[in-house]
Structure 1
């Protein structure tokens, strides 16, 4: 009886009287593709890939191999960090909008020019795509991984198109930038974010206005016809020496600068506009921007390749089961 069972489970090779060198310490339920007895019980060959997965896990899918597991957890870790960064950016944007009451009915017409809106859009987009990649990799969900790969591919296409447009329409973009800065000058007192950005540009580049410091006449508060105390003055960020005692900005350093003749005003404030200074700064630092874009593109392309590799491994594993 024992010999018959051994004959059914492990058939002899043709032309040989000895059984293959296979050992089995106990009987286990095994898939039909292996040699099994009529009852479906038998022993698995040593080293067979189904031994741990089917015999010990009761037919569950096989775990990923070592390299696929490394890719899986690398994608999870990267997207977890990016999702936190995206959520932080989203929170900062929402806080900025609510703090300035930009979501109120009176401020809605200016919502499109609010810099905080950019934080909200970028933070929300990055969070959704990164969370999809994070959860998809951890749960080995093919649909979420394909969604993440589609988001990465969309980012790459948009970045490529943006680079082409910037290179082809550089002169037109400079005109748009000048127009945007003029709008920021007219709304200097109305929007704290625009005021902060404009002050940082003028302090960092040591400039004033767009073409010259005379552009501040477009602001109703600094215009000489204004009855306020700021009439004919300039923001402290336009001053050559805006600091009082080296630590505190002197808010009155630009007082009456628009009444002065140009020679006298040059001793108090920066007369050159920020438009030419900004173009020169971009020209001198173009390699930094280029390298940043290149590194970002390489990282996104690598993530796309890793995701497609992981999806392929998951599908192969499921097909084998």
Structure 2
């Protein structure tokens, strides 16, 4: 996913939403996972080299989103500032924490979906039986 971040706009928007809007995380396991992306790795010639996407940045009181706040965050001179500027926790650990915190609602939704599926199966079986009963009446009335 991280490798294809700039190649697919839909994937980029999904990753940005997960990192910024939902889990408040950066990368898969840690923010250093962005080194795998050709635009953000430290050997890249572009301005985003040794950086992370803006969606890794913690929100500020500023009205305008700073799209360059993640630049150079993987360089060693920013070690002190990292925790203040970007999310350093990866999205898998953040997702695990979110799931643990919301286990009861998630389980309730899953049980509700399972009950709807079972109810649908019961109604389908009932309809099948009614159709079979009607077909037997058609064949034996002549």
Q: Aligning the two structures, in what range does the TM-score lie when normalised by the shorter sequence?
A: 0.7 to 0.9
Query: 1:231 & 1:243 partners in 2: Cα distance?
Result: 26
Q: Name the structure where helix makes up a greater proportion of residues.
A: 1
Query: 1:228 & 1:191 partners in 2: Cα distance?
Result: 19
Equivalent of 2:45 in 227, 239, 249: 227
Query: 1:236 & 1:281 partners in 2: Cα distance?
Result: 22
Matched with 2:67 is 251
Match of 1:311, SS? helix
Equivalent of 1:287 in 96, 99, 104: 104
**Matched pairs, number:** 136
Q: CA deviation at 1:249?
A: 2.9
Pair 1:274-2:84 in alignment: no
Higher Cα radius of gyration: 1
Q: Is the CA contact (8 Å cut-off) linking 1:212 and 1:272 kept in structure 2?
A: yes
Q: CA deviation at 1:244?
A: 4.8
Where does structure 2 lack aligned partners over 5 or more consecutive residues? none
Q: Hey, which bits of structure 1, 4+ residues long, moved more than 6 A?
A: none
Matched with 1:299 is 116
Query: 2:124 & 2:105 partners in 1: Cα distance?
Result: 29
Q: Is the CA contact (8 Å cut-off) linking 2:72 and 2:78 kept in structure 1?
A: no
Aligned-residue Cα RMSD (Å) equals 1.9
Equivalent of 2:57 in 239, 249, 258: 239
Matched with 1:311 is 128
Query: 1:242 & 1:212 partners in 2: Cα distance?
Result: 21
Q: Is the CA contact (8 Å cut-off) linking 1:216 and 1:223 kept in structure 2?
A: yes
Matched with 1:216 is 34
